[in-house]
Chain A
Amino acid sequence: MDLVAMRGICKAFPGVTANDHVDFSVKPGEIHALLGENGAGKTTLMSILYGFYTPDAGEIQVRGERREINSPKDAMALGIGMVHQHFMLVPQLTVVESVVLGMGARTGRVLNRRKLSREVRELGARYGFALNPEDYIWQLAVGLQQKVEILKALYRGAQTLILDEPTAVLTPQEAEELFTNLVRFKQDGHSIILITHKLDEVKRIADRTTVMRQGAVVGTVETARVSKPELAEMMVGRKVLFRVDKPPAAPGEVRLNVKALTVLNDKRLPALKGVSFELCAGEILGVAGVDGNGQLELGESLTGLRKPVSGEIAYKGRNVAGRAPADILSLGVGHIPEDRHKKGLIADFSLEENLMLGSQRSRRFCSGVALNFPAIGAEAARLIDDFDIRAPGPAIRAGNLSGGNQQKAVLAREMSRDPDVLIALQPTRGLDVGAIEYVHRRLIEARQAGKAILLVSTDLDEVMSLSDRIAVMYAGEIVGIVPPHTPREQLGLMMAGAHAEVVA
């Protein structure tokens, strides 16, 4: 009998059908992968199982009985736990507080900290989690935070554990450790649902795989019986090339020279500790690393959003450390921010207004103090055409565009200024395969056109396939700059802090 079975699940959001008559089931003691691209509806389906969304139609059975799951509380009562992709942890609480949060009925209203701490420590020890219950969440590295999330679910007696893209924030070695743990949970009789878009993970660990595409189930298969290319074709709906074709690099002069850059984070702790590197015309320098190791602060200081404490940032020989974003952009720097919703676009501006953002003071778009609307409109039309932005018209609200088209708009805007250096931060995060391929192609084209490109990405595959050199960041330092054909394992060790020389 299935532990959990979902039948005919439908869920629509304004303008999107996220789940279209989805059937999905999990057996006791299996690891079941839910495979699909970004936007295929995997997370929506699991949010329904976890009681976060209510389905428009369909039913859920747990151990053969039909159940209404209207809130996470209901889900937890039925032994379903979920580890979200973006952790649901409050940084200001301690580990033990996070674990018992919302369980007042069981812990008692007045907290017995010593007792609860002991419970949490013992539970963690059973799975070999080295967690101090009194540490604050904000003090923990991402890998440890994930363990807190798993503990939260186990403490609530989860039999079915849903993990949403759990390896996105881990080094390859940490991912391996997680998989070992998952197998152990399975042997303990837990069922695991692994939401992922990575084929390697599916092949590595899943007993069965359900593939979703555009809100519908393509099929459920025994993982051992299908090949990776077959899975990929099910996921994308066509054959997928795993390689990016690119001609050999012909690096030119140094366009960006960073020396001993030291930067603080928002908590005023060192986020970059003396980072140095050079970036040349006609090359892509990839920055790999687990999220939260200083990439955010690196991107922000290179684009003027964050003032460095010390060090030098020289674009084409001119030191701009501490200068405003406008000064830096005007030197011929393009910037694709890591968060297109918050930093890249103004959601409530029209597409046209977004396409001129940053150029509003240029001669092209204004005469004196007044904006030149005909010129703005003409340029928007050209960019929409050139970059294949699918939109009903230039007046559409940018927030209403799909993620891929939003990113194309950002790319179009930044490329329209014909920059010499392009700072591309997480340029394909959350996009579907088509949009990812498009962005990759544009980046390679820009490289061929002699632009210097810094690519910061936490997706190791992306960095490996696009870069001409790879800089690996760990804890605010660049532990080494290595060639792109460096083995994955070695890069993984570097992402955990081992220096290049030691590894090699």
Chain B
Amino acid sequence: MADILTVAFLVTLVQATVRMATPLLFTALGEAMSERTGVLNIGLEGIMLIGAFTGFAVTFYTGANWVGTVAALIAGGLVGLAFAAVCVTLRSNQVIVGAALNMLGIGLTGFLYRKYFTASATSILIERYEAIAIPGLSRLPIIGPALFQQNILVYIAFALVPIAAFVLHKTSWGLEIIAAGQHPKAADTVGINVFRVRYIAVIVGGMLAALGGSFLSMGHSVTFLEGMTTGRGFISLAVVIFGRWSPFGVLAAALLFGCANAFQLRLQAMGVAIPHYIVLMIPYIFTILAVVVASKRITAAPAALAQPYEKV
């Protein structure tokens, strides 16, 4: 156990933390925005799978990662649009439709993957996003290799945090987002189109969840596996709660969850004498503990969360 404290372990742990946090960060940032406007989308797991598959498949056929990423964004946006149409315009139960979205994600990606990619017995690989070292910063001890030698998606994810915070707290759009989620009728009475605000947020949320999913198949690993999100969509919901619906809170929570996951991976890699089944449980147990801790505080949840708005 002594080697847990070595520098090499720390570097790999921090590095893995950042990489494990990235898909959660994308997904949870988008979901936080969506929930801020009052729409709860528990279908993140399904959207992440769709994003992972789309990014992988398009990259495989075009040979260009960026095309795969754009395709994933479009797919996520379309799913978000459909979700908004069903849940915002038609006011269906958001939890039920979200659950259906998860089934759809598993079913559709499995269906298409088997149709187009199981001809060969070996798994099909694509080019991964190359790591980009930030000049200067990447030479810093420990945090240099851990934080500044990552691929472009990681940098984008972290850059989105201050952008989201700026939009939410410094612009009139931010006020509209908050009003739509806290008191949609009040927003309506001052001429804000609550439906439009919610549509935009849900579509952006879908795009970011798909991007988070595509990170798994294009940045973290280089192939698609059925069900490869292994609950990250649901963990992202917990990240939003634990991050109290604020962009920087989500960042902190995503890093915390990423760390729990990275720790689990490092333990496995080092072959520590704990049954790996227990090690594999760590992120899930951690998630339950996190939502329990979050429940002890006064809730920061938007007042109109998961409530369809009806303009009479």
- Which residues from chain A sit less than 8 Å from chain B, CB to CB? 50, 52-53, 71-73, 76, 82, 84, 87-93, 97, 100-104, 107-111, 152, 266-268
The answer to whether A101 and B175 have CB atoms under 8 Å apart is yes
* Stretch from B71-79, B185-193, B235-243 forming part of the interface with A: B185-193
B179 beta carbon closer than 8 Å to chain A: yes
The answer to whether A92 and B189 have CB atoms under 8 Å apart is no
Hey, which chain A residues are within 8 Å of B190, CB to CB? 72, 76, 88, 101-103, 152
Contact A82-B178, Cβ < 8 Å, known A100-B172, A103-B172: no
Hey, which chain A residues are within 8 Å of B178, CB to CB? 90, 92-93
With contacts defined as CB atoms under 8 Å apart, how many contacts are there between chain A and chain B in the complex? 77
The answer to whether A93 and B173 have CB atoms under 8 Å apart is no
How many Å from the CB of A140 to the closest CB on chain B?
15
Contact A102-B176, Cβ < 8 Å, known A72-B189, A76-B191, A90-B186: yes
Contact A267-B192, Cβ < 8 Å, known A100-B175, A102-B187: no
The answer to whether B182 and A104 have CB atoms under 8 Å apart is no
Contact A91-B182, Cβ < 8 Å, known A102-B187, A104-B176: yes
CA distance A101 to B188 in the complex (A): 10
CA distance A107 to B173 in the complex (A): 11
B170 beta carbon closer than 8 Å to chain A: yes
Q: Beyond the given A101-B187, A102-B175, could you list 9 further A-B residue pairs with CB under 8 A, ordered by the A residue number? A: A52-B312, A87-B186, A89-B186, A97-B175, A104-B172, A104-B173, A108-B172, A109-B173, A111-B175
The answer to whether A102 and B191 have CB atoms under 8 Å apart is yes
B298 beta carbon closer than 8 Å to chain A: yes
- The residue on B at minimum CB distance from A91 is B182
CA distance A52 to B173 in the complex (A): 22
B128 beta carbon closer than 8 Å to chain A: no
Hey, which chain A residues are within 8 Å of B182, CB to CB? 90-92
B230 beta carbon closer than 8 Å to chain A: no
Hey, which chain A residues are within 8 Å of B192, CB to CB? 101-102
The answer to whether A109 and B183 have CB atoms under 8 Å apart is no
10 CB-based A-B contacts, threshold 8 Å: A53-B312, A72-B188, A89-B186, A90-B178, A101-B176, A102-B191, A104-B171, A104-B173, A111-B172, A152-B190
The answer to whether B183 and A88 have CB atoms under 8 Å apart is yes
How many Å from the CB of A26 to the closest CB on chain B?
20
The answer to whether B298 and A71 have CB atoms under 8 Å apart is no
Hey, which chain B residues are within 8 Å of A72, CB to CB? 188-191
CA distance A92 to B192 in the complex (A): 17
- The residue on B at minimum CB distance from A99 is B190
- The residue on A at minimum CB distance from B169 is A111
The answer to whether A88 and B189 have CB atoms under 8 Å apart is yes
CA distance A89 to B190 in the complex (A): 10
CA distance A101 to B184 in the complex (A): 12
The answer to whether A82 and B189 have CB atoms under 8 Å apart is yes
Contact A88-B175, Cβ < 8 Å, known A72-B191, A268-B298: no
CA distance A258 to B312 in the complex (A): 44
The answer to whether B189 and A109 have CB atoms under 8 Å apart is no
How many Å from the CB of A135 to the closest CB on chain B?
16
Contact A89-B183, Cβ < 8 Å, known A53-B312, A72-B188, A84-B189: yes
Hey, which chain B residues are within 8 Å of A93, CB to CB? 175, 178-179
The answer to whether B185 and A88 have CB atoms under 8 Å apart is yes
How many Å from the CB of B302 to the closest CB on chain A?
9
List CB contacts (< 8 Å) of B174-217 with chain A.
Answer: 175-176, 178-179, 182-183, 185-192
Contact A107-B172, Cβ < 8 Å, known A88-B190, A101-B179, A268-B298: yes
Hey, which chain B residues are within 8 Å of A76, CB to CB? 190-191
The answer to whether B176 and A110 have CB atoms under 8 Å apart is no
Hey, which chain B residues are within 8 Å of A107, CB to CB? 172
How many Å from the CB of B268 to the closest CB on chain A?
43
Hey, which chain B residues are within 8 Å of A100, CB to CB? 172, 175
Hey, which chain A residues are within 8 Å of B173, CB to CB? 104, 109
Hey, which chain B residues are within 8 Å of A97, CB to CB? 175
CA distance A104 to B189 in the complex (A): 15
Hey, which chain B residues are within 8 Å of A110, CB to CB? 170-172
CA distance A110 to B176 in the complex (A): 13
- The residue on A at minimum CB distance from B190 is A102
The answer to whether B171 and A90 have CB atoms under 8 Å apart is no
Interface centre among A52, A91, A93, A102 (most CB of B within 10 A): A102
How many Å from the CB of A12 to the closest CB on chain B?
12
- The residue on A at minimum CB distance from B166 is A110
How many Å from the CB of A56 to the closest CB on chain B?
13
The one of B170, B183, B298 in contact with A90, judged by C-beta atoms closer than 8 angstroms, is B183
CA distance A50 to B188 in the complex (A): 11
The answer to whether A71 and B191 have CB atoms under 8 Å apart is yes
